[in-house]
Chain A
């Protein structure tokens, strides 16, 4: 046994769906699983961003308790289930609620095929949103020259809030309201994106997992049907969809 293997064996580990996942103290279940190449579905989690635990898509059962994998610290000998039938059913219901809460009309959406919400729903085998559609009346903010902010598609993951605050040092975005009235707001005198300090070069311009923060003029460079998650399941390729406007994406 070589030194590397010895080192690996000395790391603490937990089990995930029967497999051993080594971790470094301080890592969450999600961090350790992703580092080990094991996919746990998630939407509000992004490696490098502060854990948030709001979308609940990463629900797992750890030692008998349903918890979000992205906020639960890994512990030695924890027994974690992610793909158990009842956990999958719970996760599917969470995804279905995300769909009916907003206006997610895939056939009319510019990011269809490059959308993490859609790809996670495919992973979960969602055939129907099941619950009554809420059809909320939400605005489209087309005030910015380079981006459109479509509130119909926002899932309140706060990735843009975190990126703008932590990476861009701007705090362009925040969540206002409580419960079903929660909504994404923009820091500008008019509340419009075009009057804010948001720029196409911001980190916050590249983190939206759905089509809510949408680059203008670029989105059909790659045709629908040939996009990132059209070609591979999210469980195989992970959650970082290349930008729709990237030129180096192979078709």
Chain B
């Protein structure tokens, strides 16, 4: 029987690392900030190959080296995606305020879920078809929005709303080179 193939190019110098990203209960702002890497993206794709991300439209990820998660866990699908990322990624990074603290979506945690839904879909202004949506394809909402480290183990945290492209670059280069992640003061923001 053959020895199992090494899972990661970190074991095979020269090969590209696989990176996957997902936006859970976020606004895609962190992904926009990733695009703000601009020409550095060209350097990045020399080093990494993209697996599941909103950019590739791959639906399920394979074994990856780095997973970047934007947004907190607000519904059952978020939890499923998050667990799939944890199973498949050697290093999982919480990117942005929502993934790290729950962020803006977690402001609903102050209001009982039934009241939230009632306000949005029953009592709200200008509604045509009043009633709480119950299509079976809609993922069920969690009673509260949670930061992702309350659901799975997280290896690195990159705060910001969104983190700047420079901060994302600092994190990615540190992780790729196996250095400790240290953000200079200029790049450390919660807003």
Residues of A within 8 A of B (CB): 99, 103-109, 112-113, 118, 121-122, 125-130, 132-133, 135, 137-138, 152, 224-225, 233
Contact = CB atoms under 8 A, between A and B. Distances in A.
Interface string B86-124: 000000001001001111101101100000000000000
Nearest to B181: A127
B133 to A, nearest CB: 25
B159 interface: yes
Decide if the interface of chain A is mainly helix, strand, loop or mixed: loop
Contacts of B159: 126-128
Contact of B101 (A122, A133, A137): A133
A129 B60 CA distance: 30
B147 A107 contact: no
Given A108-B107, A121-B190, A135-B144, A128 B157 contact: yes
A113 to B, nearest CB: 7
A215 B147 CA distance: 30
A233 B161 CA distance: 19
A68 B72 CA distance: 35
Contacts of B185: 122, 233
Given A127-B100, A233-B185, 14 more contacts: A99-B101, A107-B97, A107-B103, A107-B190, A118-B190, A126-B159, A127-B156, A127-B181, A127-B188, A128-B94, A128-B147, A133-B106, A133-B147, A133-B150
B106 A135 contact: yes
A105 B107 contact: yes
21 contacts: A99-B101, A103-B107, A105-B97, A109-B191, A118-B191, A121-B190, A125-B182, A127-B100, A127-B157, A127-B159, A127-B183, A128-B94, A128-B101, A128-B154, A129-B101, A130-B149, A133-B101, A133-B146, A133-B150, A135-B106, A135-B110
B158 interface: yes
Contacts of B101: 99, 104-105, 128-129, 133
A186 to B, nearest CB: 20
Q: Which 7 A-B pairs have the closest CB atoms?
A: A106-B190, A107-B161, A128-B157, A112-B191, A127-B157, A135-B109, A106-B191
A208 B141 CA distance: 36
Contacts, number: 75
Contact of A127 (B107, B147, B158): B158
Contacts of B147: 128-129, 133
Contact of B150 (A99, A132, A152): A132
A62 B187 CA distance: 33
A135 B94 CA distance: 19
A128 B100 contact: yes
A137 B100 CA distance: 20
The residue in B102, B158, B181 that gathers the most chain A C-beta atoms within 10 A of its C-beta is B102
Contacts of A129: 100-101, 147
B28 to A, nearest CB: 14
A29 to B, nearest CB: 25
A120 B51 CA distance: 38
A135 B150 CA distance: 13
A129 B154 CA distance: 13
A225 B162 CA distance: 13
Nearest to A112: B191
A106 B101 CA distance: 10
